[in-house]
Chains A and B, each alone.
Chain A
Amino acid sequence: MTMSIDNLRGLLEEAGVRPELAKSLDPAAPMLRQGIDSIDFPTFCALLEERFGVSLDDATALSLRTLNDFARFLKENA
């Protein structure tokens, strides 16, 4: 499944990330270095699992560092 970066930004907002932060994220840079915190990140991952039926264990999730990584993961697995 192809998921646009803007759609991922929308899912981040659903996960509780402030809209201005979600919109400002550089898709090629690590999310945890741009203000996404230890609550936002797993909530976002859980939302992806629920929405797309993918399985994200901790190790896999932590290997996905950027929005581009997540888009690629969903394209290959969802």
Chain B
Amino acid sequence: MTTRAEALAAIKKNYAELTPGQKVTARRFEPADAPGVARLFYQVYGDDYPVDEPYVPELLIEANKTGRIRTFIVTVADGSVVGQAAFYQSSPPNKRFYEYGQMLVDKAYRGTFAVARLHQFAVKNMFGQLEGVDAEFGEAVCHHTTTQKMSRGVKYIECGLELGLMPQTAYAGEGVTGRVSCLLQVRVNAPGQGVLQMPVCWRKQVQALLPRWPLERDEHFSDPACRPPDGSATEMATQHFAFAGVTRLNVSAAGEDFADRLKAELAGAKARGHALVQTYLNLGAPWTSNAAEVLRQAGFFFAGFVPLWFGPEGSGPDALLAQRFLSPQVLADIKTQSEEGAAVVAMVLADMARAGREFGSPQAAPAVPVPTEPLQPEPVLPETVQPKTAAPAE
């Protein structure tokens, strides 16, 4: 098997600029495209993309063969890969919940219809049509509304705001000041049935978002007095995104030690110099309210409700997303394309302010005032969509 270092060396050795101006066509990935995809990732990210698959052709071919990644490309007559996007398994523990992203276009083809061709191919052939995919999500940057509009057109529904997720450096040259926020948008293809334990402290937010999809949920109000079983251990997966300065916790099961584990994670994130901690909390356990209260008392604020995030078989449990900044941050302008998106932004900002008042949690302040009304997309010439830069694991 080729190593990442060997693959990168081969890419650099064979690297050549593409001939601009050729007509682009979109289609599904084929094994012969793997070196072209690798070249594209190298052009956009250099050596720094945190995952090996795009650089190592055998890995990308295998990932597409197993369905873990569903790559599609835009290509030109000479066979060059000028753009790519993918549906892929990422942070959700539910492996039937795919992320839509990794949209990259060669610099010679930015300002063309390459992005639009990719997206149209996905509209016709992929959204809601992929075998083994019960739900899809995207993280649409908020310093412009292009990605939000593309996602919304294919039934991705706003359900959370990853406030201040990405550092300004990820969008150099775009005139961004401050950390960039991303709207979480989820499309549910197969809602299934499941239990939803409503966390008392954030029930209004969850109840406001829940009707946005036709979910079949057996809803319960989780009793705040219900505690995790004695001696139970928290099941939690931690991801460190060094480039973004983000620690992400996936709490599959909050145990009796949850408060202590959370305290340790916060201390570790602070020691790493991270800006933000995100926690996805499983909403399937009877002691959900207790666990949510642990988060609230630790200064977290509500950031989203994400259906199907945790289900091993795709039917839930759903997740609550809570966030806490570790130091005061400046936020880039937050633009929303829809009323639903604007409502999510208002909901999350209000709860962050509440966390500041009640627990002194560090705040993220917009560099400019956040609009209360959704903005109409600006009339601009066709341009590539800047991908949300994935962050490397430490």
Which residues of chain B from 133 to 185 have any CB-CB distance to chain A below 8 Å in the complex? 146, 149-150, 153
Beyond A37-B379, A57-B23, whether A46 also contacts B120 by CB under 8 A is yes
* Proximity bits, A18-42, B CB within 8 Å = 1, else 0: 0000000000000011111111011
Cα distance A46–B380 in the bound complex, in angstroms: 18
Chain A residue total in the interface (Cβ 8 A): 19
Given contacts A32-B381, A39-B150, A43-B120, contact A58 B23 (CB under 8 A): yes
| A64 contacts partner chain B, Cβ-Cβ < 8 Å | no
With a cutoff of 8 Å between Cβ atoms, the chain B residues found around residue A67 in the complex are none
The answer to whether the Cβ of B112 comes within 8 Å of any Cβ in the partner chain is yes
* CB-based contact A35/B112 at 8 Å: no
Complex partner residue of A42 from B376, B377, B382, CB under 8 angstroms: B382
B116 CB-CB contact with A under 8 Å: yes
Tell me the chain A residues, 32-72 only, with Cβ under 8 Å from chain B.
32-39, 41-43, 45-46, 57-59, 61-62
Q: Is B113 an interface residue (CB 8 A)?
A: yes
Q: Is A16 an interface residue (CB 8 A)?
A: yes
How near does chain A come to B381, taking the closest CB pair, in angstroms? 6
Q: Is the CB of B382 within 8 A of A38?
A: yes
Asked if A41 and B376 sit within 8 Å, CB to CB, the answer is no
Q: In the bound complex, what is the Cα–Cα distance between A36 and B377 (angstroms)?
A: 8
Shortest beta-carbon distance, A51 to chain B, in Å?
13
The answer to whether the Cβ of B78 comes within 8 Å of any Cβ in the partner chain is: no
Known contacts A32-B381, A46-B117, A58-B23: does B153 contact A38 (CB below 8 Å)? no
A45, B21: Cα distance in complex, Å: 17
Which of A39, A41, A46 has the most chain B CB atoms inside 10 A of its CB? A39
B383 touches A (CB below 8 Å) = yes
Which A residues are in CB contact (< 8 Å) with B24? Answer: 58
Q: Known contacts A39-B146, A58-B23; is A46 also within 8 Å of B116 by CB? A: yes
Which positions 230-254 of chain B face chain A at CB distance < 8 Å? Answer: none
Q: Give the residue name and chain of the A residue nearest to B23 (CB).
A: A57
Chain A CB within 8 A of B17 CB? no
B382 / chain A contacts, CB cutoff of 8 Å: 38, 41-42, 58, 62
Q: Cβ of A39: which chain B residues have Cβ within 8 Å of it? A: 116, 119, 146, 149-150, 153, 377
CB < 8 Å: which of B117, B120, B378, B379 contacts A34?
B379
Q: Mark B362-394, 1 if CB is under 8 A from A, else 0.
A: 000000000000001111111100000000000
Nearest chain A residue, comparing its CB with the CB of B114: A58
The residue of chain B having its C-beta at the shortest distance from the C-beta of A56 within the complex is B113
Question: Given the interface contacts A39-B149, A42-B117, does A59 sit within 8 Å of B377 by beta carbon?
Answer: no
A30 to B229, alpha carbons, bound, how many Å? 66
Are A45 and B379 within 8 A (Cβ)?
no
Contact with A along B113-127 (1 / 0, CB 8 A): 100110110000000
Chain A residues with CB under 8 Å of B378's CB are 37
The 6 closest A-B pairs by CB, nearest first: A42-B116, A37-B377, A42-B113, A38-B382, A57-B23, A58-B112
Give B residues with C-beta under 8 Å from A: 21, 23-24, 112-113, 116-117, 119-120, 146, 149-150, 153, 376-383
Q: Could you list 16 A-B pairs, sorted by A, with CB under 8 Å? A: A32-B379, A32-B380, A35-B376, A37-B149, A37-B378, A38-B146, A38-B380, A38-B381, A38-B382, A43-B120, A46-B117, A46-B120, A57-B23, A58-B113, A61-B113, A62-B382
